[in-house]
Amino acid sequence: MNEISVEVANICNSVLEEIINYLQESQDMNTKVIELKSAETLREKLDLTLSETGISLAELLPLIKSYLQYSVKTSSPRFLNLLFSGFSVPGILGEMVASASNTTMHTYDVAPVATLIELELIQNLNKLIGFPSGEGLMVTGGSNANLIGMFCARHKFVPEVKYNGLENNQLIAFVSDQAHYSYLKATNLLGIGSKNLIQVKSDRNGCLIPSELESEIIQALHNGKTPFFVGATAGTTVLGAFDNLPSIAQVTQKYGLWLHVDGAWGAPVLFSEKHRNLLAGSELADSFTWDAHKLMGVPLICSAILVKDKGILSQACSGVGTDYLFHDDENSSYNLGEMSLQCGRKVDALKFWLCWKYYGNKGYQARVEQLFEMAKYAVDLLHSQKNLELIIEPKFLNICFRYIPQNSHISAEIINQINLDIRNELIRSGQVFINYASYKDQILIRLILANPEIKKADLDTLFENILIQGKKSEKKYV
Ligand SMILES: *Cc1c(COP(=O)(O)O)cnc(C)c1O
């Protein structure tokens, strides 16, 4: 039996203290953002074994401490590696309360408040996108939201597939060659086959070329296939490109195809008067992916699939054998589980709602605009450094660049190696955690501005360190 006692209160207080220290420390310039250790070394340092007999609550404390000690400090302004960074107090509180009041989102009767909160969130997201009578659901990540977007499209096109399987249907989906890899998984899972995902050429800014899209659709029709789905991206993962939605929608409307927009990274620009034009035409989509755990800073996982026309999610997801769960009563229209592929579903809505309550639309607008300012600062710095070169002029918060050696005789291959060296050395030193990517055979360094705590001074230091490492590495090769 669990007993709420002094012992419980003590451990809760101690852990809270640890969490606060941890967050404080991660903001300190002298704390390493990452302490790179091999899996073997780390395994030796941690007490991972599980035993026959349990331990006391108090004995959990050192385990929690060492968890925090050896984890990556993703809340640091020097964590620039992925599309999330920083921390959110309302989000952390939301996670704690959701766990303490542990429930599942499938029916209104077990999650009454959470259900109403989720519906409110979905309605507000839909309002921003321009789906006035839309529906939606919180799902386990942007990848899964993309999957469900494609799943809805498949249901709309060939509803009988639900019972018959794909049979002779040869469905074809289209995304740009810059789209997220989750689409390949979606075509795999939905039985469409990844070879039937056409990766349409993008232009030099990484945006899908609408005329290329149309040519690919015509080609597929010519080959007797059934085009059904186009996935545009609002904020691509590497370059931060926004596909031109009105032009793409013209094509999807002409051929009667489903238009999904993957806004996992870029959707929150909709909060900003100044930058929402990047997503002009969002209302033309049929479905939309939104990650609140990236730019909005809600703790992972926090994502939604949004659909323009009500009813499709439950039609696509409903199965048989659910009579035991979904009973007809006055609140049955509030049973979100009917729209879900999951049975048990975590309450992700609470942390999201608390964050949104706390910041308000204006807070999110300010956050987005502040990060754009930082991006501009980074771009200006890059322009002023002859050893650093932008890959493209960024439209968003992805700053992709590379170090160019002073010695102009160095081969393209070595330039790639130097850039890789720079990135690896920064991580090894624990100063910054930044990512690299390969784009058109070039290794580039990808700076992501997602943490509103990033200051100009942080960027100055970053580029200084990159130049120092670049020069060091360059010496190795001459
Ligand atoms: C991050 C990302 C995804 C995947 O989202 P997860 O929440 O990590 O599953 C999908 N699309 C784009 C454009 C992304 O940047």
Domain that holds residue 462: 357-477
Q: Alpha-carbon distance 252 to 222, whole Å? A: 17
Q: How confident is the model at residue 241 (pLDDT cuts 50, 70, 90)?
A: very high
Domain check: are 336 and 418 in the same one?
no
Q: How confident is the model at residue 427 (pLDDT cuts 50, 70, 90)?
A: very high
- Please work out whether the CB of residue 180 comes within 6 Å of at least one atom of ligand 1: yes
Q: Which two tokens stand for residue 181?
A: 């890899």
- From 139, 178, 182, the mutation candidate for ligand 1 (largest count of ligand atoms within 8 A of CB) is 182
The mean pLDDT of 110-137, rounded to a whole number, is 98
Domain check: are 364 and 342 in the same one?
no
Domain check: are 209 and 291 in the same one?
yes
- From 85, 143, 183, the mutation candidate for ligand 1 (largest count of ligand atoms within 8 A of CB) is 143
Domain with residue 297: its CATH number is 3.40.640.10
Predicted confidence (pLDDT) at residue 384 exceeds the cutoff of 60? yes
Predicted confidence (pLDDT) at residue 329 exceeds the cutoff of 90? no
253, part of any domain: yes
**Which among 89, 108, 63 has a CA at the least distance from the CA of 326?**
108
Ligand 1 mean position, distance from CA 264 (Å): 5
Predicted confidence (pLDDT) at residue 215 exceeds the cutoff of 70? yes
Ligand 1 mean position, distance from CA 180 (Å): 7
Render 89-111 in DSSP notation, one character per residue: HHHHHHHHHHHHT---SS-TTT-
Q: Alpha-carbon distance 30 to 46, whole Å? A: 24
Of residues 291 and 3, the one with the higher pLDDT is 291
Q: Pinpoint the alpha helices (H) of 245-348.
A: 245-255, 312-317
- Neighbouring CB atoms inside 10 A of 209's CB total 19
Instruction: Give the percent of the chain with pLDDT over 70.
Output: 98
Q: Which two tokens stand for residue 160?
A: 């009988």
Domain check: are 271 and 184 in the same one?
yes
Q: Which atom of ligand 1 is nearest to the CA of 293?
A: 7
- Domain end marker among 296, 326, 346: 346
pLDDT in the model for residue 322: 64
251 Cα distance to chain centroid: 27
> pLDDT tens digits, residue range 398-419?
999 999 998 888 999 999 999 9
- From 265, 278, 295, the mutation candidate for ligand 1 (largest count of ligand atoms within 8 A of CB) is 265
Q: What rounded mean pLDDT belongs to the chain?
A: 95
78, part of any domain: no
> pLDDT tens digits, residue range 1-56?
456 789 999 999 999 999 999 999 999 989 999 998 999 999 999 999 999 999 99
> pLDDT tens digits, residue range 453-470?
999 999 999 999 999 999
- Neighbouring CB atoms inside 10 A of 373's CB total 12
pLDDT in the model for residue 1: 46
* Number of separate domains in the chain: 2
- Please work out whether the CB of residue 143 comes within 6 Å of at least one atom of ligand 1: yes
Ligand 1 mean position, distance from CA 104 (Å): 24
- Domain end marker among 278, 312, 346: 346
Q: Which atom of ligand 1 is nearest to the CA of 234?
A: 13
Q: How confident is the model at residue 333 (pLDDT cuts 50, 70, 90)?
A: confident
Domain check: are 323 and 454 in the same one?
no
Q: Alpha-carbon distance 22 to 32, whole Å? A: 12
The mean pLDDT of 61-90, rounded to a whole number, is 96
Ligand 1 mean position, distance from CA 236 (Å): 9
84, part of any domain: no
- Domain end marker among 287, 315, 346: 346
Predicted confidence (pLDDT) at residue 192 exceeds the cutoff of 70? yes
Predicted confidence (pLDDT) at residue 88 exceeds the cutoff of 60? yes
The mean pLDDT of 423-452, rounded to a whole number, is 95
Domain check: are 129 and 150 in the same one?
yes
**Which residue's CA lies nearest to atom 2 of ligand 1?**
264
Q: Which atom of ligand 1 is nearest to the CA of 300?
A: 7
Instruction: Give the percent of the chain with pLDDT over 90.
Output: 91
Predicted confidence (pLDDT) at residue 186 exceeds the cutoff of 50? yes
User: Hunting for tokens 């056409």 — which residue is that?
Assistant: 198
Amino acid at 47: D
The mean pLDDT of 229-235, rounded to a whole number, is 98
